[in-house]
A and B are shown apart, each in its own frame.
Chain A
Amino acid sequence: MMILRRNFLKVFFTSLSMISFIKFNSFFSYDKKRKLRKNKNFIWYLNDND
């Protein structure tokens, strides 16, 4: 039991330390939100943060 617990904690903390190397936005949908803006006779297809 003790060995199992020790192994679990080992894996848990190792994984936790890995998270800092992974890009935060990888956990979210890749799809960026579309924003339409009209200028003169054209409709621009933009991202929300453009």
Chain B
Amino acid sequence: MIAKNLDNINLENIPVVIFGSGPAGITTALELEKKNIKCLLIEAGEENYSEASQEFYKGKIIGDQIMGLSENRLRQLGGTSGHWGGTVKPLEDYAFEFWPIKSNDLKPYTKRTCEILNIKNQFRKAALSKFFNQVEFQYSNVKFADKYKNHIKNSKNIILALNTQLSHFVGENNSAKYALCVSGNKKKKIKAKYFVLACGGIENSRLLLWTKVKNSGFFNKNLPIGKYWMTHPHVLGARGVISRKKLKEKMKNNFLGYDNFMHFSTTKELVVEKNILSASMYMLTQDVFRKDKIVDKEIIKDILCVAPGYGKKLANMDFIKDIKCGNIALLLEQEPIEDNKVVLDKDKDIFGIPKVKLFFKQTELSIKTAKLFMEGFADLCRKEDLGRIAIKESIYNLEKFELLEGYHQMGGTRMGTDKSKSVVDADLKVHNINNLYVSGSSNFFTGGYTNPTFTIIQFAIRLAEKLNEKLRST
């Protein structure tokens, strides 16, 4: 059922309360429902977008600028899936090197994740060289509110309460006793056996930090809540031409002939040899952006100007069928550093909860990664005559990236075994608290180069399994 607030909801005997109705929260609720476990799903926002609700997400950014905090996430049913691009792929195996779990721990949940996202379970990878792979992403059209609203409305096991803001958890003796919420202008205490915080990559940190302030001694003193925050630098990094025919000749049967952006990524060997982070790139081709033909013409003019010999060769190729031409976007990993963090501001919202202050600085390693990744790819293209690539001058000169999007918010409650450097354990349980779990990309130890939603959902399904085991054993 869906309720406007908590007013008419019986809050007795609820085994699991989930805060946040984005992809992480809804997925866990759906999986618990399949196991016949009742849960209360709490959403701070309304059913649809509203400016008033978005106001709560406003916060300060200190350091390098990224997109505003009330623009890059949505406070409503379905969360940020309401405006996401839908590009998904599991994290690379080598991205888990420093995590407390490995990619194999998440693989059992891949099929179900694909069902939830309405995508094909196909993420092929083909070697272009020792250092570069052609990789395949899938594109989901799922907005969680649209897909699951009616399902939740008719569900007996999922109770969704809208317009209910979590303030903080109250606990003692390593257990969260209740969650204090504001719903319909009233303060409400919600008790449950297990609490799951799934409010997104910034809000998870804010609410745990406020819990720490309100309950001194509840969390470990050194728990690094809010720290090691990350985003994916997503930048226009290069432009150029690539010959599909030459690529096919080089890759033989391995070439992935999918009809979309051509994605290439780093291999583990490149990351190790160059001592950089992982990265991926895709060409915004004329096939995808037909209106972008001005860019194509500009690029060809540039080639004729700087490389007339190659330009002539290009003129003899089948331009429409063979040549891919366009700008190249990079999606880069950003390393987790302690100084990139979510902290509580002095300003408070109308519920008395401090607003967010995000400290963010681009790191030299991400900037170096962009240059060495693109330089390696450009060299491969010219040596093997696959095409010709031009790198943006600012990246070549190792300058900071221009304004970053910041749609992907990761870290802040990172998982790990070292209790001074992580907030949750491998099962997503807050260290030393028996019944408080955190779900979402805030748990990521590192970000890889991959869009985070696929991994978020894999984790959310796994969390439901863990909660089921706990409930059955008690």
Residues of A within 8 A of B (CB): 30-32, 34, 37-47, 49-50
Distance in angstroms from B325 CB to nearest chain A CB is: 14
Distance in angstroms from A38 CB to nearest chain B CB is: 7
User: Is B378 in contact with chain A by the CB < 8 A criterion?
Assistant: yes
Apart from A45-B375, A45-B388, A47-B310, 10 more pairs, CB < 8 Å: A39-B302, A40-B302, A42-B393, A43-B391, A43-B396, A44-B302, A44-B390, A46-B307, A46-B310, A50-B388
Which chain B residues (299-322) contact chain A, with CB distance < 8 Å?
302-303, 305-307, 309-310
A selection of 10 A-B contacts at a CB cut-off of 8 Å is A39-B306, A41-B393, A41-B394, A42-B391, A43-B392, A45-B381, A47-B383, A50-B306, A50-B307, A50-B310
A40 to B305, CA, bound (A): 11
Please tell me if the beta carbons of B393 and A44 are within 8 angstroms of each other in the complex.
Answer: no
With a cutoff of 8 Å between Cβ atoms, the chain B residues found around residue A37 in the complex are: 306-307
With a cutoff of 8 Å between Cβ atoms, the chain B residues found around residue A50 in the complex are: 306-307, 309-310, 382, 388
- Give the interface SS of chain B, mostly helix, strand, loop or mixed: helix
A24 to B392, CA, bound (A): 37
With a cutoff of 8 Å between Cβ atoms, the chain A residues found around residue B332 in the complex are: none
With a cutoff of 8 Å between Cβ atoms, the chain B residues found around residue A32 in the complex are: 382-383
With a cutoff of 8 Å between Cβ atoms, the chain B residues found around residue A34 in the complex are: 379, 382
User: Is B389 in contact with chain A by the CB < 8 A criterion?
Assistant: yes
User: Is B24 in contact with chain A by the CB < 8 A criterion?
Assistant: no
Please tell me if the beta carbons of A43 and B393 are within 8 angstroms of each other in the complex.
Answer: yes
Please tell me if the beta carbons of A47 and B302 are within 8 angstroms of each other in the complex.
Answer: no
Residues of B within 8 A of A (CB): 238-239, 302-303, 305-307, 309-310, 375, 378-379, 381-383, 388-394, 396
A30 to B379, CA, bound (A): 13
Please tell me if the beta carbons of A38 and B382 are within 8 angstroms of each other in the complex.
Answer: no
Distance in angstroms from A36 CB to nearest chain B CB is: 9
Which listed residue (A39, A40, A45, A49) contacts B378, Cβ 8 A? A45
A31 to B379, CA, bound (A): 10
A46 to B305, CA, bound (A): 12
Please tell me if the beta carbons of A45 and B379 are within 8 angstroms of each other in the complex.
Answer: yes
With a cutoff of 8 Å between Cβ atoms, the chain B residues found around residue A38 in the complex are: 393
A44 to B378, CA, bound (A): 8
Please tell me if the beta carbons of B392 and A44 are within 8 angstroms of each other in the complex.
Answer: no
Distance in angstroms from B236 CB to nearest chain A CB is: 10
Distance in angstroms from B1 CB to nearest chain A CB is: 56
Please tell me if the beta carbons of A42 and B388 are within 8 angstroms of each other in the complex.
Answer: no
With a cutoff of 8 Å between Cβ atoms, the chain B residues found around residue A42 in the complex are: 238-239, 302, 390-393
**Closest residue on chain B to residue A38 by CB atoms:** B393
A45 to B392, CA, bound (A): 11
A37 to B309, CA, bound (A): 14
Please tell me if the beta carbons of B305 and A39 are within 8 angstroms of each other in the complex.
Answer: yes
Please tell me if the beta carbons of A45 and B306 are within 8 angstroms of each other in the complex.
Answer: no
